[in-house]
Structure 1
Amino acid sequence: MTENAEKKESETGRNEIKEEKEEKGQKAIDFTHLHTDDITPLLRCKRVPCPKCGKTRAVYCYDCLIKVEEDLHIPHVDLPLDVYMLQHPNERKSKSTAVHLCMVSPEKAKLEKWPREETFDPTSTVILFPSETAIPVDEVDFDKVKTVVFLDCTWPQTHSMLIDEKLRGIPRVKIEGSESRFWRYHRFGKPQVKSLLSTIEAVYYFFVEFAIAKERRERR
């Protein structure tokens, strides 16, 4: 296959992913398309002391990352890859959507404070970040890549995290244009920047593209 043919095939694949996402209502998350558990019992929960730290919390403790009542049923998600969410020290766990992923997928999702002491294996790890060198999700070799890293921070904080020597050598990946369902004021550029996603939204969109790309590869 020539270089131009490979480039055309890659562009076609990305367009297919974009079209499939739009068909499934994925430009902005359409909750009517999701198969979700009934969380009504969780909405009725009252604040009780966390069994580990003693702080009063409802449903789960965002510091200890555990549910506060043993008989509570928290929905479970089985992720196909290991997920590490690195949280900037200026971010608060109480405001972070990364905590939610840790609660529904404790075996696969880890929330750690940045900077991190341990290094990641660059041959089996990617970071989700839309840099100039980032490649689309459908071009990632997931036979080798088993871990994906997300930055739990504001947009201005990303620079200081990415120049960290322990993260510099890890390949970047990007997702196709998606919009946030949750408005949040950003103190730069326009007040509403729809493409700036919360951490949990970024994780969701990444795995949507992961699933679409996997289906496409299996159809070949």
Structure 2
Amino acid sequence: MSLNSSTLSNEENSQGPKRTTECLESLELQTPSSFPDNPLQQLQLASQEVLEKAKKSGRSKCPRCSSSRMFYCYTCFVPVETVPIKEIPTVKLPLKIDIIKHPNETDGKSTAVHAKLLAPDDVTIYTYPCIPEYEGKRHEIALVFPGPDSVSVKDIAFHLQKHTKKGVYGRDDDRCREPPLKQAKIEPKEGKHPDECISSSRSEGSQLKKIIFIDSTWNQTNKIITDERLQGLLQVELKTRKTCFWRHQKGKPDTYLSTIEAIYYFLVDYHQEILKENYNGQYDNLLFFFSFMYTLIKNAKCCAGKE
């Protein structure tokens, strides 16, 4: 579920670095909407002019580690010196996101960093075998990963409620057997009707608060997904979405998404299916870097006569 090649390295291998560079420099950057049948064309993105300028000026230093990078530093999770951070959009997410990255996943080839760059307050990246402790919180966490027991986004609430009944309060828990009169009194919050507070309290235990993604090539995911610390978590699959990733792995269905695509599409579905709100591009900027790189690759392929 990750970006499995650097933006231009494989293009250079097939056409030669000089040919690819000439193509990219000779063409004005086309917008994603200029490509036929492009699913990214409807995105409501912040201006990508800052990325276009950075592309023309070439690699730049990371302000923290001084490494030479293009657009951003994938180890420090910050834009390079030629990309002012104030010109990079920030996305506020409705959930916290944990990304578990395979140790063999090359940082420079991963789209997980896009999420950290664009939603820094809500995204945390861990490198396996470092995994947070989820015990006791399984009723409010889900793992996005395909499998025979995976559920759709719209069914998350129902299945988390089952996790709550089975896992949070066991059959022998005193809270389950406590007489109603001894249960803590629910004080109405200011400005809310008492019934609303009670309803909110009942649903609190089954409310999704965190979502986990695995950042790895598909052939390497088994080591992480079978880790005992992830067992028992509700698994969610995005079955109706198709990848736009330009280096899709051979032999895998087109519903196997890159990490940033999986995060984006999950949030769109969550917004509509769980929050029951109209989606108006609130999370589109999560694809700010992805869509730009998609365009770069498309331009290079068109110039090289591949498409």
Under TM normalisation by the shorter chain, which class is it?
A: 0.7 to 0.9
From the superposition, tell whether residues 122 and 29 of structure 1 become closer, same or farther in structure 2 (CA, over 3 Å). farther
One-letter amino acid of the counterpart of residue 85, structure 1: I
**Equivalent residue for 2:41?**
32
From the superposition, tell whether residues 29 and 119 of structure 1 become closer, same or farther in structure 2 (CA, over 3 Å). farther
**Equivalent residue for 1:123?**
139
Does residue 136 in structure 1 map to residue 199 in structure 2? Answer: no
From the superposition, tell whether residues 158 and 29 of structure 1 become closer, same or farther in structure 2 (CA, over 3 Å). farther
**Equivalent residue for 2:224?**
161
Q: How do 1:34-113 and structure 2 match up within 5 A?
A: 34-45=43-54, 46-69=58-81, 71-72=84-85, 73-113=87-127
TM-score calculated relative to the size of structure 2? 0.56
1:202 equivalent among 262, 266, 270:
262
TM-score calculated relative to the size of structure 1? 0.77
Distance 2:248 2:69 in 1: 27
Does residue 214 in structure 1 map to residue 271 in structure 2? Answer: no
- Higher RCO (C-alpha under 8 Å, 6+ residues apart): 2
Structure 2, gaps ≥5 residues long: 1-36, 161-203, 279-307
Distance 2:40 2:212 in 1: 25
Distance 1:96 1:29 in 2: 22
Distance 1:217 1:64 in 2: 35
Matched position secondary structure for 1:135: coil
CA offset at residue 58 of structure 1? 2.9
Distance 1:181 1:207 in 2: 17
From the superposition, tell whether residues 101 and 154 of structure 1 become closer, same or farther in structure 2 (CA, over 3 Å). same
Structure 1, gaps ≥5 residues long: 1-27
Percent sequence identity over aligned pairs: 32
Q: Relative to total residues, which structure has the larger strand share, 1 or 2?
A: 1
Distance 1:29 1:109 in 2: 28
From the superposition, tell whether residues 165 and 34 of structure 1 become closer, same or farther in structure 2 (CA, over 3 Å). same
Q: Relative to total residues, which structure has the larger helix share, 1 or 2?
A: 2
Give the number of aligned pairs: 188
Q: Deviations over 1:50-107 (max 9, x none)?
A: 1211211233211011122383411111111111111111101100011111111100
**Equivalent residue for 1:181?**
244
Q: Deviations over 1:168-199 (max 9, x none)?
A: 12111112322111232535x36xx3122111
Mean CA deviation greater in 55-64 or 66-75: 66-75
Contact kept in structure 2, 1:29 and 1:180, CA below 8 Å: no
Mean CA deviation greater in 83-92 or 64-73: 64-73
Distance 1:49 1:216 in 2: 43
Mean CA deviation greater in 90-99 or 53-62: 53-62
Matched position secondary structure for 2:230: helix
Matched position secondary structure for 1:85: strand
CA offset at residue 117 of structure 1? 4.4
Distance 1:129 1:86 in 2: 12
One-letter amino acid of the counterpart of residue 62, structure 1: Y
CA offset at residue 215 of structure 1? 5.3
Q: Deviations over 1:194-217 (max 9, x none)?
A: 122111111111112111203548
Q: Deviations over 1:25-71 (max 9, x none)?
A: xxx97222211001112221242221211211233211011122383
One-letter amino acid of the counterpart of residue 53, structure 1: C
One-letter amino acid of the counterpart of residue 173, structure 1: V
Contact kept in structure 2, 1:127 and 1:172, CA below 8 Å: yes
Distance 1:125 1:208 in 2: 17
Matched position secondary structure for 1:140: helix
**Equivalent residue for 1:150?**
213
One-letter amino acid of the counterpart of residue 71, structure 1: P
One-letter amino acid of the counterpart of residue 201, structure 1: E
